[in-house]
Structure 1
């Protein structure tokens, strides 16, 4: 039988949406006749991104609790009750064989109602510090797929399966040579290249750092591919030159990775998993403005295994040039970081997660 019905929920950020879509794609590959339904939060990016990936989505009226006292918190109980009732209706109508949650607010009500209806549930936690929604749902979930060691701090040990995070393998297929990659960006083949990744919207503090250090990079004889994000492109495009390429987006990530000798990046779960597969030396600058400071936890998990360098935003002015110079001067350090980060790669994560889902439907 491959007329299975799969319901998936994860959203709020690309870090939750992308894994859910990757899991659905692998399920669809194995079960071409299966039915899929996504459930997201009405005003969040999944309502646009999931249909673009070719799947149906229903929206719930839900949002998170704000950390400070705001009017939004007053509406939270009403949103929660409304979402639970709507989720129950969706579950009754769709009758899924399995429910899959990848984190984010909308997955809370949906997975809760699936659990209450006796639908087997699988959770996928991307970060080394578990999100609140997954922690609340863990009690009744059958399986919890994780990407890091030590997750029994948050979840029942017997439910945990270490699979890694789903990866966009097309982006990290860096079989392309450095020559082709540097030519694509209009850079020199024989010059060391720094790749800066601040996420699709951009990262203000990372951009401020790169602006300040452009002269330093020049003195070091380096060239830069600077993905500054669409929010900041107008501000920074004036620095575009023969040796500095300022981009809102990088359309060919495979070539950007192939061109890079060193990478400076945020430490979102998706980025970290991707960079483990790329296997280049990385300096992580975690965003401090995310739930449970999970980017810092992600970067720390790699730093603890000598697989990356981590610099907090507060350390950038005093530490960046020192750490960066030490990295560029020591080929031994670059090789060590590359080898250690590669050891943490889990390229078959999506397949392993779907293997676990199959156990719940057999």
Structure 2
């Protein structure tokens, strides 16, 4: 390489934007060990902690989203946008990046907008089957858009769009070989079916209420439960721990949790869906109804339409969950069908494909 490669990556607000960004950064450093990477996030959001923990520098912008209802917080939004555009320009002029990558979230909007006006190559990584408003606006001027789903030409220029998949953690790529290790790690009985329940790092109230109603039924059916309650709800639900049920605020070894599971109940965030396709276990998605533009329901339906998962809406859980969960847990045929079909949707080489695309849009002499 003639000169040092310099990359700004922006994305945050939720783990679904942050962890893909960190995966991309790690792949860039693997290829270009002397590369300099700077993250830009939103002040007071989780990226300001998570990115430094991963070993990267980050700068924060004063930016947030617009509340869908009329609130006082919305009054400050125009000032936050102006401030963030100004700060983004200063950051870019000082750092002089060769490329700017956005993985979604509030901060990526102003930063990529400014990069476009300064003729710096930009790449968007869109995780969802239905793009968010920030990426839809930025897509017109981006040099490349890396997507995880087909049929996004209504939102992005087709010539610039590359289906790469979503970056996922590398330790889940071979969970099949970790089954025995996982059973020992979680102290599981090998003869019992194992249900893994995931409500996200903070937790999902409705999913936790559902598990509370079913713990006795699972025990009668000889089913053991690994139940990630989320940090907000752990204290409330840890009382259910027994030889059939184990509650966790957070799962530090998600690869082993996947490996241990026979069936998985999960939210349908974009990264979770991508991981579950690679893991290849039977899944029942319960999309969160509280996310922007109903992303999770759309992500889950994309999988369900391929006969690769079940999708249950929160409002239908009372009448549909019991029949669905027992069908999936008891029928080897249903499990095999779901598992085979969801594996067909997996895109395990996503991170490498995104960095390949980045290389194409950077001036070629920079990488020679």
The TM-score bracket by the shorter chain reads over 0.9
Matches within 5 A, 1:158-173: 158-173=159-174
Matched position secondary structure for 1:59 = strand
Q: How does 1:25-104 map to 2 (within 5 A)?
A: 25-104=26-105
What corresponds to 2:192 in structure 1? 191
Indicate the residue corresponding to 1:266 in structure 2: 267
**Structural mapping, 1:343-354, within 5 Å:** 343-354=344-355
Partner of 2:147: 146
Does structure 1 retain, via aligned residues, the 8 Å contact 2:193–2:329? no
Map of 2:208 onto structure 1: 207
Q: Which blocks of at least 5 consecutive residues in structure 1 are unaligned? A: none
Cα gap change, 1:160 to 1:332, in 2 (>3 Å): same
Alpha-carbon offset, residue 15 of structure 1: 0.5
C-alpha separation in 1, matches of 2:259 and 2:110: 42
CA deviations 1:12-57 (Å, max 9, x no partner) are 0010111111111101111111111111111111111111111111
Cα distance in 2, alignment partners of residues 14 and 316 from structure 1 = 26
Q: Secondary structure at 2:153's aligned position in 1?
A: helix
Distance in 2 between the 1:179 and 1:83 partners?
50
1:231 is aligned to 232
Displacement of 1:182 in angstroms is 1.9
Cα distance in structure 1, aligned partners of 2:166 and 2:213 = 34
- Aligned residues of 1:171 and 1:252 also touching (Cα < 8 A): no
Distance 1:129 1:135 in 2: 10
Separation in structure 1 between the aligned mates of residue 74 and residue 252 of structure 2, nearest angstrom: 39
1 CA distance for matches of 2:249 and 2:174?
22
Which shows bigger deviation, 171-180 or 346-355? 171-180
SS at match of 2:296: helix
2:25 maps to what in 1? Answer: 24
Q: TM-score, normalised by structure 1?
A: 0.98
On the 8 A contact 1:172/1:278 being kept in 2, the answer is: yes
- Please state how far the C-alpha of 1:180 moved relative to its aligned partner: 3.0
- Taking a change above 3 Å as real, the CA distance of residues 178 and 4 of structure 1, as seen in their structure-2 partners, is closer
Distance, in Å, in 1 between the alignment partners of 2:178 and 2:135 is: 41
1:8 aligns with 2:38: no
When normalised by structure 2's length, the TM-score is 0.96
Partner of 2:119: 118
Whole-Å Cα distance in 1 between the matches of residues 178 and 81 of structure 2?
Answer: 51
- Deviation beyond 2 Å, 4+ runs, structure 1: 175-180
8 Å Cα contact 1:265-1:283 kept in structure 2: yes
Residue of structure 1 equivalent to 2:320: 319
- Match of 2:132? 131
Moved more, 196-205 or 167-176: 167-176
Shift of 1:172: 4.5
Shift of 1:178: 3.1
Using the alignment, how far apart are the partners of 2:308 and 2:145 within structure 1?
A: 25
Asked if the contact 1:262–1:280 (Cα under 8 Å) also holds between the matched residues in 2, the reply is yes
Return closer, same or farther for 1:71/1:282 CA change in 2, 3 Å cut-off.
Answer: same
Q: Is the 8 A contact 2:173 2:348 kept in 1?
A: no
Aligned residues of 2:227 and 2:247 also touching (Cα < 8 A): yes
Q: Deviations over 1:43-86 (max 9, x none)?
A: 11111111111111111110011101111100000010011011
Unaligned 5+ segments in structure 2 are none
Distance 2:49 2:325 in 1: 39
1:308: how far off?
0.5
Q: Supply the RMSD in Å over aligned alpha carbons.
A: 1.0
After TM superposition, give the deviation of residue 177 of structure 1 in Å: 4.4
Provide the C-alpha distance between the structure 1 equivalents of 2:22 and 2:256, rounded to a whole number of angstroms: 24
Aligned residues: 362
Question: Deviation at 1:326?
Answer: 1.9
Matched residue of 1:170: which SS? Answer: helix
